[in-house]
Amino acid sequence: MATIYREGDLDLLSGKVAVIGYGSQGHAHALNLRDSGVDVQVGLREGSPSAEKAEEAGLEVRSIADAVRGAQVVALLCPDHVQKEVWDEHIAPNLEPGAAVLFAHGLNIHFERIAPPEGHDVIMVAPKAPGHRVRELYVSGAGTPGLVAVHRDASGNALALALAYGVGIGCARVGLLATTFAEETESDLFGEQAVLCGGVPALVQAGFDVLVEAGYQPEIAYYECLNELKLIVDLLYQGGYEYMRYSVSDVAEYGDLSRGPRVVDDAVKQRLRDILGEIQTGAFAEELFADDEAGRPKFAELRKAGEERAAEIERVGKELRALAGVEGLLGVR
């Protein structure tokens, strides 16, 4: 069984916490820490559209440099692809001796895009939930599970400090699972390339395309391959494979058990291993960072190709979601 921490000493966070960025995670960490009695400042770049929101929520907003100065902990909660620039320009020059640097995802540390100097604790507290859930559940008295890791223990007290932060944002109410920057980063990238994103959306699209090519109505293909996916995922989430197979019809269960291994066969599994290999060797990160530094030309191409591939399923989906009122419900376009 993994090590799961459920407590920490909040008094260890006696100094200021600088929360850099006020997006999904940033707003939740800043507000939860503040409500836990921690001294928080939000550090934002000049002209940031988030500043007004943070101030309205009653938080102190400073420039990134000012928030970092005098902080005991600096939490980097701006998007991963801007963290290096924010680090180089605004954080590194202003970091107090001995200040701890905290991440909610290990990408930039694990692949050495950011290398904090010796003498600073480098820690991770990563809620396993979108920021809005992290805030909502904290307010309701509950919490979201999280991961905790120490990349560098300069103070001799880095884990305890990370756990205190985990208490402050409410994750310790549920549990902080001990991991490493390597494990968190590599498994997270794998999940979002091979299964959650990558794999599942590609399978949905391929299934949709096969039905439409065979002459079935696109609306039927959409309901079958995309809309119903949520129902199956809900069953898996609630009760695992056994509950899902109990809940679907026997015909569906027979089809699942006899055809599933043909859809995802050894060749697919081998490609999953190859994708994991590219993550582990750093080849993926190298490709991603190089594209980022070049102004994202490859990303733009990939987005365009993705839009073209999905044009038909998107067209149908938009119409059917509008019928169901789903788009309004979720507040999406």
Q: Name the residues that contact ligand NAD, by CB under 6 A.
A: 21-26, 44-45, 48, 50, 77-80, 82, 86, 104-105, 126-127, 130-131
How big is the CA angle at 133 (ends 132 and 138), to the nearest 5 degrees? 105
Find the shortest distance in angstroms from Cβ 96 to ligand NAD. Answer: 20
Q: Which does 77 bind (CB under 5 to 8 A by kind): ligand NAD, Mg ion, none?
A: ligand NAD
Residue nearer to ligand NAD on the CB measure, 24 or 179: 24
Find the shortest distance in angstroms from Cβ 138 to ligand NAD. Answer: 14
- CA-to-CA distance for 3 and 177, rounded, in angstroms? 6
The catalytic residue positions are 105
Q: Which does 328 bind (CB under 5 to 8 A by kind): ligand NAD, Mg ion, none?
A: none
Residue nearer to Mg ion on the CB measure, 25 or 72: 25
DSSP string, 240-307: HHHHHHHHS-HHHHHHHHHHHHHHS-HHHHHHHHHHHHHHHHTHHHHHHHHHHHTTSHHHHHHHHHHH
| Total of chain residues touching Mg ion, rule CB under 5 A | 1
Find the shortest distance in angstroms from Cβ 111 to Mg ion. Answer: 16
DSSP-assigned letter for residue 96: P
Q: Are 36 and 168 a contacting pair, CB within 8 Å?
A: yes
Residue nearer to Mg ion on the CB measure, 93 or 130: 130
Residues in Cβ contact with 116 at an 8 Å cutoff, skipping those fewer than 6 apart: 92, 95, 101, 109, 122, 152
Tokens of 118: 């010796």
- 186 in contact with Mg ion (CB under 5 A): no
Query: Of 118-126, 133-141, 156-164, 180-188, which segment contacts Mg ion by CB under 5 A?
Result: 180-188
What per-residue string of b and e applies to 108-133 under the rule 16 or more CB within 10 Å gives b? bbbbebbebeeebbbbbbbbbbebeb
Q: Which does 174 bind (CB under 5 to 8 A by kind): Mg ion, ligand NAD, none?
A: none
Residue nearer to ligand NAD on the CB measure, 88 or 242: 88
- CA-to-CA distance for 46 and 30, rounded, in angstroms? 19
Query: Of 26-34, 56-64, 129-137, 181-189, which segment contacts Mg ion by CB under 5 A?
Result: 181-189
- CA-to-CA distance for 245 and 224, rounded, in angstroms? 17
Q: Which does 171 bind (CB under 5 to 8 A by kind): ligand NAD, Mg ion, none?
A: none
CA distance from start to end of the chain: 42
Find the shortest distance in angstroms from Cβ 119 to ligand NAD. Answer: 23
Residue nearer to ligand NAD on the CB measure, 21 or 218: 21
Residue nearer to ligand NAD on the CB measure, 38 or 147: 147
Find the shortest distance in angstroms from Cβ 123 to ligand NAD. Answer: 13
Q: Which does 82 bind (CB under 5 to 8 A by kind): ligand NAD, Mg ion, none?
A: ligand NAD
How big is the CA angle at 312 (ends 306 and 314), to the nearest 5 degrees? 70
Find the shortest distance in angstroms from Cβ 128 to Mg ion. Answer: 8
- 184 in contact with Mg ion (CB under 5 A): no
- 188 in contact with Mg ion (CB under 5 A): yes
What per-residue string of b and e applies to 36-60 under the rule 16 or more CB within 10 Å gives b? bebbbbbbbbeebebbebbeeeebb
Q: Which does 8 bind (CB under 5 to 8 A by kind): ligand NAD, Mg ion, none?
A: none
Residues in Cβ contact with 86 at an 8 Å cutoff, skipping those fewer than 6 apart: 20, 45, 64, 76, 78
Which residues are at the interface with Mg ion (CB under 5 A)? 188
